[in-house]
Amino acid sequence: MAGNRAVAYMGAGKVEVQDIDYPDLVLRDGPGVNPLNVGRKCEHGVIIKVITTNICGSDQHMVRGRTTAPEGLVLGHEITGEVIETGRDVEFIQKGDMVSVPFNIACGRCQNCREQHTHVCLNVNPDRPGSAYGYVDMGGWVGGQSEYVMVPYADFQLLKFPDKDQAMDKIMDLTMLSDIFPTGYHGAVSAGVHPGATVYVAGAGPVGLAAAHSAQLLGASVVIVGDLIPERLEQARSFGCETINLRDHDDLGEQIDQILGTPEVDCAIDAVGFEASAHGQNAQEAPATVLNSIMDITRAAGQLGIPGLYVTEDPGAADEAAKQGSLSIRFGLGWAKAHTFVTGQTPVMKYHRDLMNSILHGKANIAKAVNATLISLDEAPHGYQQFDSGVAKKFVIDPHGLVRN
C-alpha cells in the first residue's frame, strides 16, 4: 500500500510534515476526530491524489494557538486533485477525474444542503451544523495538506474540470476554487456589491484580496482595501485597488473621504475576523475593530459581508468575554443605519462552477490577485512561518511536484 505524508499542527507556532495513514473509505479515529464520527463508512467517497493544497488564514489561526485544536491534527481544507479510487456508491465521478474539493463537507441530502446552505450541512458534524477538512471542531475529517486524502459524498460535492490539460495550465487559479475565491466572492455578494458600487475591504490578506478582485468582477466602480502591512497594500494596488494604511491612519472615514469625496461607501467586507487589530501606531489586538469600523463607514441601508472567521472559543484572547467569542460590537449603530449583516462560512458549491468558468475563459485572474506562490510539502512549515509574518503571498503546496512553474 502507498504511504502518505501530511502537514500536522503540533502546538502553538509549530507544524510538522509527518507520515500518516494512507486514506481509506472509513473515517478512522485520530486527533480531532469526533468520537461519534469514528468508524463512519464512506462508500459514497473517493480517494484523491492531491495536486495542490493551499495554506489558509483559517489554518493560521489554529497554528497560532488561537483555537482548541489538538496536537497532531492534520491541516488543510483547500484541496484540488485527481481521483484515484472510488467507493461502491459513487456513480458519476470516475477514476482519473481532476476535481476541486469544496472545503465545506456536505451530504447533499439534508434540508440545508437541499436549500444550497452546504456550509451548514446537518449530517456531517455531530456537534453542530457544518464541517470542513482538517479543522478544529468540524467533525474531525482528515485534512488535505497531504499526498492523499479521502473525500466523502463525491457525486454531490466534487467540481470536475472539463479538461485535465487545460486545468493544469490554469491550476494556480483553479486551486483557489476550494475556498478562497468563493469566500472572497461570497463576501462581495453578501455585501451587495453591484455595478458602480463603492466598496471597502478590511484586510489585504488572501481572502481580502480575493474579495477585492471579486468586487471588481461584480462591477464595483472603486474598491478600497485597508490593512496594516505595506507589502499587502502594494499587492492590492497591483490589480487596481485604492488602499489605506491603517497603521498610519486611525480615522478610516477621513481616509475614505479623501478617495471618494464622502466618508462612506456603499458596501463593506470584513476579511479579517477575530484577530483584528486596532488602527494607528502601536495598536494592539482589538477583535471588534473591523466590525465597528465597517458599520461606521457604510452608508445607511448598506450591507456588510463578513467572511472573516469568528470563533466560539479563543483561548488566546485578551479578555474573558472574547475567549467565548463575545465582542464589544456597536450593534445599535448597525441597527440605526439599517445595515444587513451576512456571516458564516461560505457555501462554496453555490459559486464554484461559475467562478471556474470565469477562470477558464480568462475573466478572472485570482492567482495574480493573491500572488499565488508554489512550495513543496516539505517547505510547508516555512510557508506557515512566512505567512504568519504578513507576507503578501498565497502559498500553494504541490505535494507530488506535478505543477509546472
Which fold, 5-179+347-398?
A: Quinone Oxidoreductase; Chain A, domain 1 (3.90.180)
Q: Nine-digit cell at 332?
A: 445599535
Task: Give the mean pLDDT of the chain.
Answer: 96
**Which phi and psi angles does 14 have, rounded to 5°?**
-135, 130
Location of C-alpha cell 497532531: 72
pLDDT digits (tens, 9 = 90+) for 384-399: 999 999 999 999 999 9
Q: Which of 46, 68, 78, 64 is nearest to 145 (CA)?
A: 78
Q: Which residues in 277-333 belong to E strands, given as ranges? A: 298-305
Q: Nine-digit cell at 390?
A: 504578513
SS3 164: helix
Q: How far is CA 138 from CA 71, 122, 160, 371, in A?
A: 15, 12, 25, 29
Centre a 10 Å sphere on the Cβ of residue 18 and count the other Cβ atoms it contains.
14
Give the pLDDT band of residue 405 (cuts 50, 70, 90). low
Pair 87, 312: CB distance under 8 Å: no
Report which secondary-structure segment, H or E, holds 174.
helix 171-174
The answer to whether residue 339 scores a pLDDT higher than 60 is: yes
Pair 221, 241: CB distance under 8 Å: no
Q: Please list the residues that pair with 99 across neighbouring strands.
A: 81, 160
Task: Return the ∠ at Cα 112 (arms to 37 and 148), rounded to 5°.
Answer: 45
pLDDT digits (tens, 9 = 90+) for 1-38: 579 999 999 999 999 999 999 999 999 999 999 999 99
Pair 196, 265: CB distance under 8 Å: no
pTM of the model: 0.96
Q: Nine-digit cell at 210?
A: 480575493
pLDDT of residue 249: 87
Task: Report domain extents, the chain.
Answer: 5-179+347-398, 182-342
- The Cα 270–Cα 226 span in angstroms is 10
pLDDT of residue 333: 96
Give the pLDDT band of residue 288 (cuts 50, 70, 90). very high
The lowest-confidence range among 81-95, 121-135, 282-296, 343-357 is 282-296
> What is the tally of helices (H) and strands (E) in the chain?
15, 18
Centre a 10 Å sphere on the Cβ of residue 155 and count the other Cβ atoms it contains.
16
pLDDT of residue 312: 85
Which fold, 182-342?
A: Rossmann fold (3.40.50)
| The amino acid at 163 | D
The lowest-confidence range among 216-220, 248-252, 267-271, 279-283 is 279-283
**Which phi and psi angles does 329 have, rounded to 5°?**
-95, 140
Give the pLDDT band of residue 251 (cuts 50, 70, 90). very high
pLDDT digits (tens, 9 = 90+) for 297-328: 999 999 999 999 998 888 888 788 888 888 99
Angle between helices 289-297 and 252-260 (to 10 degrees): 40
Location of C-alpha cell 453555490: 350
SS3 31: coil
SS3 228: coil
pLDDT digits (tens, 9 = 90+) for 34-80: 999 999 999 999 999 999 999 999 999 999 999 999 999 999 999 99
The answer to whether residue 285 scores a pLDDT higher than 90 is: no
Q: How far is CA 364 from CA 98, 190, 242, in A?
A: 20, 19, 19
